[in-house]
């Protein structure tokens, strides 16, 4: 939550281009105008021009919005009438919304299911892929293929697979075993797991490729030494591979939690929040507050609350895992 | 703080190490000489490849089948190859009737702008932070890094409010591509990636050029840019595929159907368009990213690690 203000632009710059050359004497103190013209001659303006694209885009579209959300959260604004300061009222109204706790529960449920279904799978796949020789490239391409597909296309495709009629794709497969038909997205209990399976399909490739790269950079000497000591393949997996992967696994776990807690596109396109609000997520609630009710203050308050929770969770997680890896 | 910087460093270093450590993984040549190990690994390999073909490639193959089927065939016979014959007509129909051609053009235009501005900001910013290093470079670097640690949800609403009325200039960017191009260009990850890459270039080259009288722009254009081809490639792939996948942001800032990219257009028509045309449209929209991926698979897989760390 460290919102950093844009750096002051008119501060004179001294950089690589106006450092005195080896033959020059150290510059004596001069009057401001002389110092300024020296700065200009040494390329200070050109350096600043080089920074302009970054300063302008970040100033307008990264740093300012962060500050702006700290303002918006304490205002009542519908973007038409003049905003008024309302103190903590927006936060009170968010916390009083009964749908908030439904959405929070759904979001956590999504994150937990995504961990159970989607977290171990990439590690296991990467471990097998690391042992491949001729087929490693083709399996990497296959595993990464779903990641390339735009999320909306992936969701709409799976929505078709989850067709609740008996002739739907998954229901046809179930029918081969004499099961179903199942309502999938229309079944309140199954809707969220169905979305998680699609989301896992769409994203597992990224994690697999990251783990594979980490596996390939484990030093061969470690395996050699363990083998000489008589460790079996499974023992080597447990005592060499997993400890070597630990920092990557811990980081991926945190990134996945932060990512899944902000899930939007998959439930929004797949179910729109239904059935019975069972797939409404926190970010969908932010969207609804702002773009359906026009209540931008309330929407910002909720997004700040979510960000605050995520920051606290990450801070605790990083502290705990650091302690754990030291011991 | 340190975890992400070390990740960035580890990721940018990774490709080289990957090429060197081809010697061995967990299972050694000695293990492979044992029959049980050979059989088990063979079985696991076959399971993995078959599983991947079915799970990862299967849905795409099905999309291809559906794109050339009648709506009736898609809904009634999910596992039969074109019982009513191949409907080539679906593709031109989707192109014109549900305006996939227009959406595709919008997507290309959107991606091109995101690519151009993303590269512009990342290269000039990285050059400033890592090579020019004026006094304020440290502050800029810290401020860019800080945005990596703030969850994206914080600025969703306030960014939209900013786009409605850009401070000081007072323009409304809604329904212009600028509303997508400029915010995506402010990518801390790309800037830091380029800055780390420039950090490792030999500084003597720039010093020599400076002594020879080359100015700030000249060094950038004639020395830095030609040396940064690998990082330009990575940033290009990340920004192009990233903007192709973008959904929520264009949905908010491009309400006009004439400007919407494929992802937003497909979502909007998904409930009303005939299933066959929707599938044909979806198929058209995946051809370009998949073609790019197959063409540049090594570069993609190499930068995949970098894409993973953006989420933080």
pLDDT at B32: 81
* pLDDT for the residue numbered A171: 92
- For residues B296 and B284, give the distance between their C-alpha atoms in angstroms, rounded to a whole number: 19
* C-alpha–C-alpha distance, residues A85 and A71, integer Å: 9
pLDDT under 50 in chain A at which residues? 1-23, 327
B57 in Cβ contact with A142 (< 8 Å): yes
Nearest CA in chain A to B107: A150
Q: Which of B292, B241, B235, B244 is nearest to B118 (CA)?
A: B235
B26/chain A closest Cα distance in angstroms:
6
- Per-residue pLDDT, averaged over B240-246, amounts to 91
State how far the Cα of A101 lies from the Cα of A94, in Å rounded to an integer: 10
For residues B212 and B178, what is the distance between their CA atoms, to the nearest angstrom?
39
Characterize A250-259 residue by residue with b for buried, 16 or more Cβ atoms within 10 angstroms of its Cβ, and e for exposed.
bbbebbbbbb
What does the pLDDT read at residue B80?
85
CB contact under 8 A, B267 and A137: no
At A182-197, the pLDDT tens digits run 889 999 999 999 999 9
Q: What is the pLDDT at residue A29?
A: 62
- Under 8 Å between Cβ of A286 and A111: no
pLDDT over threshold 80, residue B227:
yes
Give B-chain residues touching A184 at CB under 8 angstroms: none
CATH number (3.30.420.280, 1.20.1090.10, 1.10.3720.10, 3.40.250.10) of A93-326 reads 1.10.3720.10
Q: Which residues of A touch B151 (CB under 8 A)?
A: 258, 262, 306-307, 310-311
**Taking 80 as the threshold, does the pLDDT of residue B214 lie above it?**
yes
Residues in chain A closer than 8 A to B14 (CB atoms): 213, 217
Residue A82 region, left (φ>0) first, then alpha (ψ -120 to 50), else beta? beta
Its pTM surpasses 0.90: no
Residue B120: closest CA among A166, A321, A51, A32: A51
Measured N-to-C along each axis, helices B275-295 and B100-127 cross at an angle, to the nearest 10 degrees, of 30
Cβ contact, residue pair A291, B14, below 8 Å: no
Chain A hits for B59, Cβ within 8 Å: 146, 157-158, 161, 201
Q: How far apart are CA A77 and CA A289, in angstroms?
A: 12
CATH class, domain B94-310, is: mainly alpha
Q: Write the pLDDT tens digit of every residue in B48-82.
A: 999 999 999 999 999 999 999 999 888 888 888 88
Helix ranges (H only) for chain A are 32-41, 44-58, 64-72, 89-96, 98-118, 120-130, 136-148, 151-161, 169-176, 191-216, 220-228, 233-236, 242-261, 265-270, 282-287, 296-326
pLDDT in tens, B104-125: 999 999 999 999 999 999 999 9
Whether residue A291 lies within 8 A of chain B, CB to CB, comes out as: yes
- A145 contacts B293 by C-beta, under 8 angstroms: yes
Round the average pLDDT of chain B to a whole number and report it.
87
* Chain B residues touching residue A259 (CB < 8 angstroms): 311
Minimal CA separation from A314 to chain B, in Å: 10
**Confidence at residue A217, expressed as pLDDT on a 0 to 100 scale:** 83
pLDDT at B229 over 70: yes
Contacts of B234 (CB under 8 A, 6+ apart): B193, B299, B302, B303, B306
* Residue B272 pLDDT greater than 70, yes or no: yes
Q: Is A53 close to B146, i.e. CB distance below 8 A?
A: no
Of B132, B135, B292, the CB nearest to A50: B132
pLDDT, residue A26, reads 54
Task: Determine which of A3, A39, A69, A83 to mutate to test the interface with B (most B C-beta atoms within 10 Å).
Answer: A69
Neighbours of A232 (CB within 10 A): 11
What is the pLDDT averaged over residues B151-178?
Answer: 92
Task: Report the chain B residue with the minimal C-alpha distance to residue A210.
Answer: B305
B35, B64, B135, B153: best to mutate for the A interface, most A CBs within 10 A: B153
First to last CA, chain A: 29
Substitution target in B19, B154, B292 with the highest count of A β-carbons within 10 Å is B154
Question: Any idea which of A191-200, B18-27, B140-149, B231-240 has the lowest mean pLDDT?
Answer: B18-27
Please report the number of interchain residue pairs, chain A to chain B, with beta-carbon separation below 8 angstroms.
350
Residue B21 in this model has a pLDDT that exceeds 50: no
The interface predicted TM-score of the complex, written ipTM, equals: 0.87
Task: Name which of A259, A298, A297 is nearest A281 in CA terms.
Answer: A259
pLDDT in tens, B197-213: 998 888 888 889 888 88
**B5 or B238, which is more confident?**
B238
């Amino acid at each position: 939550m460290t919102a950093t203000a844009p750096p002051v632009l008119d501060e004179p710059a001294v950089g690589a281009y106006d450092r005195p050359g080896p033959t020059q004497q150290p510059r004596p103190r001069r009057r401001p105008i002389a110092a300024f013209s020296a700065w200009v001659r040494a390329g200070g303006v050109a350096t600043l021009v080089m920074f302009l694209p970054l300063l302008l885009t970040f100033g307008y579209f990264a740093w300012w919005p962060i500050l702006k959300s700290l303002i918006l959260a304490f205002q009542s604004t519908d973007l038409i009438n003049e905003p008024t300061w309302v103190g903590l009222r927006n936060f009170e109204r968010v916390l009083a919304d009964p749908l908030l706790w439904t959405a929070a529960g759904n979001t956590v449920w999504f994150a937990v299911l995504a961990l159970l279904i989607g977290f171990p799978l990439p590690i296991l796949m990467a471990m097998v892929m690391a042992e491949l020789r001729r087929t490693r490239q083709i399996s990497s391409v296959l595993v990464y293929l779903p990641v390339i597909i735009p999320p909306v296309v992936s969701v709409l495709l799976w929505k078709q697979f989850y067709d609740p009629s008996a002739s739907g794709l998954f229901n046809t497969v179930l029918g081969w075993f004499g099961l179903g038909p199942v309502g999938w997205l229309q079944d309140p209990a199954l809707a969220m797991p169905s979305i998680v399976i699609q989301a896992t399909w769409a994203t597992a490739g990224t994690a697999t490729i990251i783990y594979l790269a980490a596996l390939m950079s484990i030093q061969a000497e470690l395996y050699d030494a363990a083998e000489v000591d008589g460790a079996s393949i499974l023992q080597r997996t447990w005592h060499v591979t997993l400890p070597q992967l630990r920092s990557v696994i811990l980081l991926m776990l945190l990134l996945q939690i932060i990512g899944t807690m902000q899930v939007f596109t998959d439930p929004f396109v797949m179910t729109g929040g239904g059935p019975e609000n069972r797939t409404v997520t926190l970010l969908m609630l932010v969207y609804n507050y702002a773009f359906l009710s026009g209540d931008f203050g309330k929407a910002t308050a909720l997004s700040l609350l979510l960000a605050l929770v995520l920051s606290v969770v990450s801070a605790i997680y990083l502290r705990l895992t650091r302690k754990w890896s030291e011991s | 703080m340190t975890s992400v910087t070390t990740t960035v460093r580890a990721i940018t270093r990774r490709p080289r190490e990957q090429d060197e450590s081809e010697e061995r993984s967990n299972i050694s040549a000695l293990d492979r000489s044992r029959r049980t190990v050979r059989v088990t690994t063979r079985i696991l390999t076959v399971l993995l490849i078959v599983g991947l073909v079915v799970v990862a490639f299967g849905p795409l193959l099905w999309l291809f089948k559906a794109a050339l089927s009648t709506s009736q065939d898609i809904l009634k016979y999910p596992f039969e190859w074109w019982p009513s014959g191949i409907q080539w007509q679906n593709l031109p129909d989707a192109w014109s009737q549900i305006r996939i051609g227009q959406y595709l053009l919008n997507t290309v235009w959107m991606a091109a702008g995101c690519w151009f501005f993303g590269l512009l900001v990342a290269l000039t910013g990285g050059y400033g932070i890592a090579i020019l290093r004026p006094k304020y470079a440290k502050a800029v670097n810290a401020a860019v890094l800080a945005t990596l640690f703030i969850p994206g949800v914080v600025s969703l609403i306030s960014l939209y409010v900013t786009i409605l009325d850009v401070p000081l200039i007072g323009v409304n960017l809604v329904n212009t591509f600028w509303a997508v191009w400029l915010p995506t260009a402010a990518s801390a990850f790309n800037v830091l990636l380029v800055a780390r890459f420039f950090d490792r270039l030999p500084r003597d080259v720039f010093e020599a050029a400076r002594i020879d009288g080359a100015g700030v722009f000249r060094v950038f254009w004639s020395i830095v840019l030609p040396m940064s081809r690998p990082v330009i490639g990575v940033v290009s792939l990340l920004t192009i595929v990233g903007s192709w996948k973008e959904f929520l942001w264009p949905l908010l800032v491009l309400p006009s159907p004439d400007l919407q990219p494929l992802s937003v257009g497909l979502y909007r028509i998904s409930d009303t368009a005939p299933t066959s045309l929707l599938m044909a449209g979806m198929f058209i929209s995946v051809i370009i990213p998949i073609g790019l991926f197959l063409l540049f698979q090594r570069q993609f897989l190499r930068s995949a690690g970098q894409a993973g760390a953006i989420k933080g």
